[in-house]
Amino acid sequence: MEMTAELIARARAGDGEAFRALTEPHRRELQVHCYRMLGSFQDAEDALQDTLLAAWQGFAGFEGRASLRTWLYRIATNRCLNARRSAGRRRAKEWDVPNVVPPEPTRLGEAFWVEPIPDALLDGVAPLGPEALYERSESVSLAFVTALQLLPPRQLAVLILRDVLGFHASEVAAMLDSSVESVKSALKRARAALQERRPAPGREPAPAPGSPAEDAIVARFVRAWESADLDALVGLLTDDVFMAMPPMPFEYEGRDVVIRFCGNIFGAGRRFDLVPTRANGQPAFGAYLRTASGVSHGTGLYVLTLAGERICALTRFETGVLPSFGLPRSLPAR
* Predicted confidence pLDDT, tens digits, the chain (334 residues): 555 889 999 999 999 999 999 999 999 999 999 999 999 999 999 999 999 999 999 998 898 888 999 999 999 999 999 998 875 567 889 888 888 889 999 998 889 999 999 999 998 776 677 777 888 888 999 999 999 999 999 999 999 999 999 999 999 999 999 999 999 999 999 999 999 887 767 789 999 999 999 999 999 999 999 999 999 999 999 999 999 999 999 999 999 999 999 999 998 889 999 999 999 999 999 999 999 888 899 999 999 999 999 999 999 999 999 999 999 999 998 7
Cis upstream peptide for 249 (omega within 30°): no
Neighbours of 304 (CB within 10 A): 21
CATH of domain 212-331: 3.10.450.50
Sequence ranges of the chain with CATH classification 1.10.1740.10 = 1-86
Among 192, 194, 81, 80, residue whose Cα is nearest residue 146: 194
- 3-class DSSP assignment, residue 117: coil
Q: For residue 44, give every residue at least 6 positions away whose Cβ sits within 8 Å of its Cβ, in sequence order, or none.
A: 31, 32, 34, 35, 37, 38, 117
Among 292, 320, 315, residue whose Cα is nearest residue 304: 315
Instruction: Please tell me the distance from the alpha carbon of residue 174 to that of residue 178, in angstroms, as a whole number.
Output: 6
- 3-class DSSP assignment, residue 311: strand
Sequence ranges of the chain with CATH classification 3.10.450.50 = 212-331
> What is the per-residue pLDDT for 66?
86
Fold of 1-86: Rna Polymerase Sigma Factor; Chain: A (1.10.1740)
Torsion over CA: 112, 198, 134, 75 (sign): positive
> What is the per-residue pLDDT for 292?
87
- Are 157 and 57 within 8 A, CB to CB? no
